[in-house]
Structure 1
Amino acid sequence: MNKEITLPAPAKLNLFLHITGRRQDGYHELETLFQFVDLADQITFRARDDGEFRLSPQIEGVSTEENLIIKAARALRGIAGDTSLGADINLTKNLPMGGGLGGGSSDAATTLIALNALWHLNLSYQELADIGVKLGADVPIFIHGEASLARGVGEELEAASPSECWYVIVHPQVHVSTAAVFTHPELPRSTKPIHHTDQVITGLNWQQLGNDCQQLVFNLYPSVAAAHQWLLQYAASKMTGTGACLFAPFSSENEAKRALASLPKDYRGWVAKGMNRSTAHLALAKQLED
């Protein structure tokens, strides 16, 4: 293995998101179908032997100490028990913050996967996921790297195979606070769990299922609702996570590109391919072969 690794940190979509209850500790019980897309941050890691972590560039509004990349790196080093382990880390940030695409969690997961290889620790994905879940509920899905039906607080994962279609993803240039959504008194918290999960796992009916956070976010953030109405002109639009990003499936890349071509100038948008295997895992496997 080289002393340098560059891996993507892919976005995820919540193809549906149900909130089935709330635990006594305040965490919400969820039921959601995760799929990756080929839209991603890119992160380069170079090994150091002086115990330093140097992240560049700095993300506006996020201190280095609070960045999930640095938190993940330090947590992994703590498990390794070698204080000399360090890294220079360069982040190319393509995913919007507060967009519901899981960018911070994906960055943390890619950090754990990459440094595990770079430092020759040979920890299993489950061991990495046990570290990652302490950083964020979504981190384990990125570490395991397979499209999954998730339950509980996101830790119960069952492999899924939804159709790998093309998507238009739209960001209405607003930051949605996940904490504000999940603590809001008007958030639905009692959706009945799905019984026929085999249909969901094979991707037969996820488009018929909704996002329990969506209407609340539309009420709180009118610009997200407006972006939803724009996207509805072309295909069935849905919000991912707690927003602000919306997505819609298309049968071909060309159809998706035609819709994106008329994107209002106030929005950011992308055409992305659904992936049932994380591009981070695919890229790491290729580098290990090389």
Structure 2
Amino acid sequence: MTIEKKAYAKINLGLDVTGKRDDGYHIVRMIMQNVDIYDTLTFESNDTGEIKLTASSDKIPTDESNLICKVARQLQKEYDVKKGANIHLVKRIPVAAGMAGGSTDGAAAYTALNELWNLGLNIEKLCELAVKLGADIPYCIIGGTALAEGIGEELTTISDMPMCSIVVAKPDIDVSTAWVYKELDSKEIVSHPDIDSIKAAIENGDISEMCANIGNVLEPVTAERYEVIGQIEKLMEENGAIRAFMTGSGPTVFGIFEDDDKAKEAYEVVKESGLAPQVFLSGPINPNKIQ
């Protein structure tokens, strides 16, 4: 039996940090959205008990440090699973991009191995297990458009984001999330995004109002060090984006377009600019509604 899963990337339509817990985790309020950029994972059960991970790129670790392997080991231990799995990852989501590429692969591992090993776990139980390995994984299991609170694990599904085109560009730099949050902690947050207004605009289907309120408290930290982020945003907005902004801790930038043709033109302009070697033309997606 072979199971194939698409693991979709996410962007943050809003990201606010409202505090920090004693254990070091930051308290957040975020609007998360899947986009149609995905990794593909295939899973095949084996009788040896081994977890064998291979990947399309030799830059992807395939040892026990990979979150996919950690998920498999957690499930084996928790449910006394004797079987193993042969897993292959085709990587398309940029690495260290603020798009939950690792977390979404981990989420795919939860849902696939639950099926492959006949564990019979519901979504709530999978999310309960997942948060132990990463705060973004429960969202990646649920997917779609959601408000995330707490450390990211308290999820409220909201109306689907209005349809549009999204250009996503990842410059040739890697950003450490730990560094970004450390820098954030060292200074006062002078402006907080209005997460409730973003949520209301999405539920009203008002893409212009949604874009007007998009904000990310991490952007000033990352963009101050890497000016290419602002350069990409400016280029997207000059070429028809209603708004362009950084997702997560960066450095990836996304631009939202109501006009599909303008999005295609902006995609080509950004590609040709040399500012970002990885550029995608995408759109919002709810994986759970794909037939």
TM-score, normalized by length of structure 1? 0.89
Matches within 5 A, 1:35-184: 35-57=33-55, 59-60=58-59, 62=61, 64-82=63-81, 84-161=82-159, 162-184=161-183
Moved more, 22-31 or 129-138: 22-31
Cα separation, 2, equivalents of 1:7 and 1:63: 18
Specify whether residues 11 and 192 from structure 1 end up closer, same or farther in structure 2 by C-alpha distance, changes over 3 A only. Answer: closer
Match of 1:238 among 211, 234, 245: 245
TM-superposed deviation, 1:177: 0.6
What is the root-mean-square deviation in Å for CA atoms of aligned residues? 2.1
Deviation, 1:29, is 1.1
Provide, for residues 8-31 of structure 1, a one-character-per-residue CA deviation record: whole Å limited to 9, x for no partner: 110011011111112222211111
Give TM-score, length-normalised by structure 2: 0.88
Amino acid at match of 1:165: C
Match of 1:261 in 2: 268
In structure 2, the partner of 1:4 is 2
Q: Is the 8 A contact 2:222 2:249 kept in 1?
A: yes
**SS state of the match for residue 261, structure 1?**
helix
Partners of 1:126 and 1:12 lie apart in 2 by 20
Deviation track 1:65-97 (CA, whole Å, cap 9, x = no partner) reads 111111111112222212x22111111100111
Q: Distance in 2 between matches of 1:90 and 1:46?
A: 9
Do 1:20 and 1:190's aligned partners in 2 also have CA atoms closer than 8 Å? no
Q: Deviations over 1:180-216 (max 9, x none)?
A: 0011113628848755676155154432131101111
Task: State the shift of 1:147 in Å.
Answer: 1.5
Q: What letter corresponds to residue 187 of structure 2 in structure 1?
A: E
How far apart are 1:102 and its partner, in Å? Answer: 0.6
Q: Residues 63 and 47 from structure 1, CA distance in 2 versus in 1: closer, same or farther, beyond 3 angstroms?
A: closer
Q: 1:41 to 1:226 in 2, by over 3 A?
A: same
- Counterpart CA distance in 2 for 1:255 and 1:190 is 31
Which structure is higher in RCO with an 8 Å CA cutoff and minimum separation 6? 1
- AA at the equivalent of 2:125: E
For residue 19 of structure 1, give the secondary structure of its aligned residue in structure 2.
strand
Q: Is the 8 Å Cα contact of residues 13 and 33 (structure 2) preserved in structure 1?
A: yes
Report the residue type matching 2:282 in the other structure.
Answer: A
Could you tell me which of 251, 256, 273 is aligned with 1:249?
A: 256
| CA–CA separation in structure 2 for the residues paired with 1:128 and 1:250 | 35
Between the aligned partners of 1:65 and 1:189, the Cα distance in structure 2 is 40
- Match for 2:210: what amino acid? W
